[in-house]
Amino acid sequence: MFKKLEDLSKPTLLSKTGVKELKQSFNDQYPFFKEIEDEVFPKKANIQSFKLRSEYKVEIVQVDKDYICFTKEDLVIPHLKLVHKFPDLLIKQQVDLGAIKHILSGSDVLAPGLISQGSQLNTAQKGQVVAIYGEGKENAMGIGIMNANSDEIKKDPKGHAIQLLHHLGDALWQLSFK
Amino acid sequence: MSDSDDDIFKKKKPSKKKIEQQQKQQEQQLLLQQQKQLKQELNQTEQQMNNPKHPKLVIYCRICTFPVEFCSFSKTPKECKEWLKTSFNELYAILYPEEFKLEQEKQAALLEQQRLIAQHQLLFQPLGKKKRNKTKVKESDMVYLKVKERNRNKFITTLSGLEKHGLDIKETSKKISKKFGCGSSINEKGAIELQGDLTEELIEWLPKEYPNIKEDMIAIKDK
């Protein structure tokens, strides 16, 4: 999704109601977020948001020069750096060695990659946000949305299983390292 | 015209070299600060490591901006390895164990070669020379040599300072004149004068005859 970031607008401050809505949607989707709330959103912090003109209804949220998450049509998705710090936020799915090269260049995850040796499939529903790990590595590689339930994937391993939204080395990741 | 134009011409912009130097200094300072922070945080206690609420520390490569284990999938794997060697040697041993062993073997082989060379040097030294102790020689024990020109192609050497070692002046002058075939005489001040340039031969001959005198004690005086 973030292959090129060309149309970034200027940052605007979020109001108090906007921050409250953000925190509520975070708490609804991820039950682990209650314990981390104070560290991620400190009290006297500058919360800004950017808008993308080319994409429809996508905003990037920034707290004190740290990129935290982005929103897409009522879904709140955390940035990869947050996932590195608190790996218990998202459900983990593991892929085998041969697929790492393709994921880091932006392709979707196919079903045979989740069933072969060296991979792990955990229970998840359709439409949930999931973190993707590689075989033998500690840290997360990418974030995606499930296309189908995990039970159906085990029965019929065909087609795209996870749609990729954000991975290591794309335009959003390079923004945070300038 | 107005004063503002004069101010623009008076202000000197820093030259290109200075700007580059300043930028390099700033980058180096940033690097040092980041490395200090990382090394402090690496010494976390075990309780903090296992606590899921505490943020986990991840080291990112400076060149490819990936976590350190993903450097081989980036576009610059060789440069990332060299950066790892210099900054985090322990992680380099964990991630690339084979190359770490090869380098250790190379260093061990180099040390052995140096030892063998030093041993060979000890064996093949010329017999006359002995090891010199590094104690300073007192001035009262020094023997001085001087060379003068009498005419063209004729020199005079003077020896002084032989009395302190308990040597008789007359006998030494006779010995030297017999051995080297030159004329000798005694000075007013008590020094021996010889005809010819005999510095090199005297330096070799004196320690053999009189073992009290050592090589460190002989010095050549310039005018």
Q: Does B136 touch chain A (CB under 8 A)?
A: no
A26-53 pLDDT tens trace: 888 888 888 888 888 888 888 888 887 7
**pTM for this prediction:** 0.61
Exposure string (b/e) for A131-149, b if CB count within 10 Å is 16 or more?
Answer: bbbbbeeebbbbbbbbbbe
B213 secondary structure, DSSP code = S
> For testing the chain B interface, which of A85, A105, A139, A170 should be mutated: the one with the most B CBs within 10 Å?
A139
B4 interfacial to chain A (CB closer than 8 Å): no
Q: Which of A138, A106, A109, A139 is nearest to A121 (CA)?
A: A109
- Among B56, B60, B67, select the one facing A85 at the smallest CB separation: B56
- Please report residues of A whose CB lies closer than 8 A to that of B71: none
d(CA B64, nearest CA chain A) in Å: 9
Report pLDDT for A175: 84
Q: What pLDDT score does B61 carry? A: 86
Separation of CA A170 from chain center:
13
The band of B2, judged by pLDDT with boundaries at 50, 70 and 90, is: low
CB contacts of B60 in chain A (<8 Å) are 177
DSSP lists the bridge partners of residue B155 as: B149
Which superfamily does CATH assign the domain made up of B120-221 to?
SUI1-like domain (3.30.780.10)
Residue B20 confidence class, pLDDT cut points 50, 70, 90: confident
The pLDDT-based confidence of A91 (bands split at 50, 70, 90) is very high
Average pLDDT, chain A: 87
pLDDT tens digits for range B110-124: 999 999 988 888 877
Spans of all domains in chain B: 24-98, 120-221
Cβ contact A84–B58 (<8 Å): yes
Residue B19 Cα, gap to closest chain A Cα (Å): 20
What mean pLDDT is predicted for residues A139-161? 90
pLDDT for res A130: 93
Closest chain A residue to B56, measured at CA: A85
Distance CA A44, CA A34 (A): 19
Nearest neighbour of A104 by CB, restricted to B58, B69, B73:
B73
pLDDT at site B43 = 63
Contacts of B52 in chain A (CB under 8 A): 86, 88
User: Mean pLDDT over residues B76-98, rounded?
Assistant: 85
Partner-chain contact A88 B52, CB within 8 Å = yes
pLDDT score of A62: 83
Cβ of residue A15 closer than 8 Å to a chain B Cβ: no
pLDDT at B39: 64
Please say whether the beta carbons of A175 and A8 come within 8 A: no
Torsion of CA B4, B7, B11, B13, to 10 degrees: 20
Window 59-88 of B: residues touching A by CB (8 A cutoff) are: 60, 65-67, 69-70, 73-74
| Cβ-defined contact of B70 to A88 (cutoff 8 Å) | no
Say what the pLDDT of residue A143 is. Answer: 93
Kindly report the three-state secondary structure assignment for every residue of B64-95.
CCCEHHHHHHCCCHHHHHHHHHHHCHHHHHHH
pLDDT tops 60 at residue A72? yes
The pLDDT of residue B110: 92
More confidently predicted of B96 and B136: B96
Tens-digit pLDDT profile for residues B187-218: 888 888 888 888 888 888 888 888 888 888 88
